Structure 1
Amino acid sequence: MSDPYPARSSSGMPEREDKRSFLQKLAEFIHPGPDSRAELIETLNEAEHNEIIGPDSRVMLEGVIRMADMTAGDVMVAATRMDCLNIDAPYEELLHVVIDTAHSRFPVFEGEKENIIGILLAKDLLKLQRAPELNLRALLRPAVFVPESKGLNDLLREFRGNRNHLAVVIDEFGRVAGLITIEDVLEQIVGEIEDEFDIVEDHGDIFGLADHTYRVSGDTPVERVEEAFAVKLQDASGDEDFDTIGGLIAHAMGHVPKRGEHHVLAGLNFLVLHTKGGAVRWFKVSPATEADDNTG
């Protein structure tokens, strides 16, 4: 018959039964738990190997651990690659930038790009089309500024708390160093997030389109592109040290490619379809014609 009055500790609370076996206790005594992030990550790798957790779970848990040491400066989009809007630009020019870049939020500057005066949501720009008498300044949301040293854990907490999805990053001298979004932070945990403007990559890195052209991922190895189109791209560019077609084309163009620009190399026309984080995500590739040139 069980004891109706379980043993209690000196604090008056019932003692919890230790269900660990002697061998488990001995193993934990000999091999205590991880005492550093590196050991914790190694423990997660062992847990995946032993099928305690799945690969996706391990990657996310590692992302959470590594993110603890990361700052806004580690993840931000550099100022030179920021897509900003000029408060004094005409409506058609603003609309052109919004459509070309396909972002949902834009820093707005006045005079020079260092002078960020607010954030414009792309959807708010539609209000000007229906009511041209509106002042664009009235549509701006307050800009949030954070230092480069801001920890990603703290930044994510603030993003969630104040419902902001974008912050302007400031360097130690008070200059604009770049911008960071909640998506940039979350991608450190879950990997790259595809948004409604991203093209789903479900057909491989090179595949044919209905108009007899090809869509090519920017991170496709140069050798694979050369083999697929029977060309020599490295020889045509004069360089031998580029691994991806995106890196090769960017070097050949001499700047970070933007959506809509194109470049002719080895008889092929590379049209930039989509960019993200300063890199080309997708090219549209077709045979170059006499009308094609490299003026972009």
Structure 2
Amino acid sequence: MSDDNPHSSRGSAGKSWLDRIASIFSAEPQDISDLQDIIAEAEVRNLIDNDTKGMLDGVLDVSSMRARDIMIPRSQMATVDIDHTIEQLLPILMENNHSRYPIVNEDKDHIEGILLVKDILQYTLDPTKAEWNLRDLLRPAVIIPESKRVDALLKEFRQKRYHMAIVVDEYGGVSGLVTIEDILEQIVGEIEDEHDLEEEHDIKRMASHVFKVSALTPVDEFNESFQTSFDEEDADTIGGIVLHAFGHMPEKGESIQLRGLTFKVSKSNSRRLVQLQVTCAKDNSPAEEE
């Protein structure tokens, strides 16, 4: 007997969908792929959009990650020495634009505490407080093992209201650091701040033949400025060209020569290049920008 109800097939599909949802949450899933399949089907059925799917996938990814998977490596940590004067400190703060810095004693294996940039404002602006040192401003450093689950760390960040943790290996040596932003970026994607926006698509002359170049500068814009001929099919940005040439994620200070130019990494994070220092010969220096 045929079913003349035009909504019959739709109702069956809806019931099948609900049955699958119920089966997932009424019993422990066999693995995360079960949940990923449900999320993917929900997007296909337009129950969620692509951005929502991306965030849900990010949450599932975070549930299986450890601190070692997302930490900023030791070599890329911006730190301040405990004996730095204000004159030595300010250039570091201006270059990196972070709100928190680990304070080290001699080397990065000896973390004395965490400096919040806002804590030094009262000392730099008040002439009556001319005598001070960083030891007076230190906040306790949170130490976690490399094996710390990222989802558990995020919960601690929220509950205890701290934003940075120092990651150590099994021998107690510092491996890197993790911030709450690093975790959130695993879920919602790259979080750009006002400093990132200022650097984007920007070429600035620093000296006669030395330039500060955002890694996000499009290849065609870079070629036009430096009279080069990097292939736009190889990468969209000059950072992509340089990263491909290195063949690995370079550390701050690493350099490479390409097409007669010297590219030095002046700023990067665990996922991408941020800023490059480009030194060129006199005959292919860009014209001075207004």
TM-score (norm 1): 0.70
Change in 2 beyond 3 A, CA 1:227/1:249 = farther
Aligned to 1:199, the other structure's residue is in SS state helix
Q: Aligned residue for 1:136?
A: 134
Change in 2 beyond 3 A, CA 1:109/1:63 = same
Greater share of helix residues, 1 or 2? 2
Maintained 8 Å contact 1:226/1:233: yes
CA–CA separation in structure 1 for the residues paired with 2:105 and 2:148: 26
CA–CA separation in structure 2 for the residues paired with 1:193 and 1:160: 18
Which among 256, 262, 280 is matched to residue 273 of structure 2?
280
Q: Aligned residue for 1:81?
A: 76
Change in 2 beyond 3 A, CA 1:79/1:228 = same
Letter aligned with residue 182 of structure 1? I
Change in 2 beyond 3 A, CA 1:91/1:224 = closer
Q: Which moved more, 1:135-144 or 1:265-274?
A: 265-274
Within a 5 Å distance, the mapping from 1:1-296 to structure 2 comes to 33-34=23-24, 35=29, 36-129=31-124, 130=126, 131-199=129-197, 218=215, 231-232=228-229, 244-248=240-244, 256-257=251-252, 265-267=258-260, 275-277=268-270, 279-283=272-276, 288-289=281-282
Aligned-residue offset at 1:132: 2.0
Q: Equivalent pairs: percent with the same residue?
A: 38
Number of aligned residue pairs: 259
Aligned-residue offset at 1:256: 2.4
Change in 2 beyond 3 A, CA 1:154/1:112 = same
Could you tell me which runs of 5 or more consecutive residues in structure 1 were left unpaired when the two chains were aligned: 1-20, 235-241
Q: Which moved more, 1:103-112 or 1:280-289?
A: 280-289
Change in 2 beyond 3 A, CA 1:184/1:100 = same
Larger relative contact order (C-alpha < 8 A, sep ≥ 6)?
2
Q: Aligned residue for 1:17?
A: none
Maintained 8 Å contact 2:212/2:276: yes
Maintained 8 Å contact 1:250/1:256: no
Aligned-residue offset at 1:289: 2.4
Aligned to 1:63, the other structure's residue is in SS state helix
Cα deviation 1:69-100 (Å, max 9, x = unaligned) = 00111100111111111011222111111111
Change in 2 beyond 3 A, CA 1:250/1:95 = farther
Q: Which moved more, 1:216-225 or 1:80-89?
A: 216-225
Q: Which moved more, 1:156-165 or 1:270-279?
A: 270-279
CA–CA separation in structure 1 for the residues paired with 2:272 and 2:14: 50
Letter aligned with residue 150 of structure 2? L
State the structure with more CA Rg. 1
CA–CA separation in structure 2 for the residues paired with 1:249 and 1:92: 37
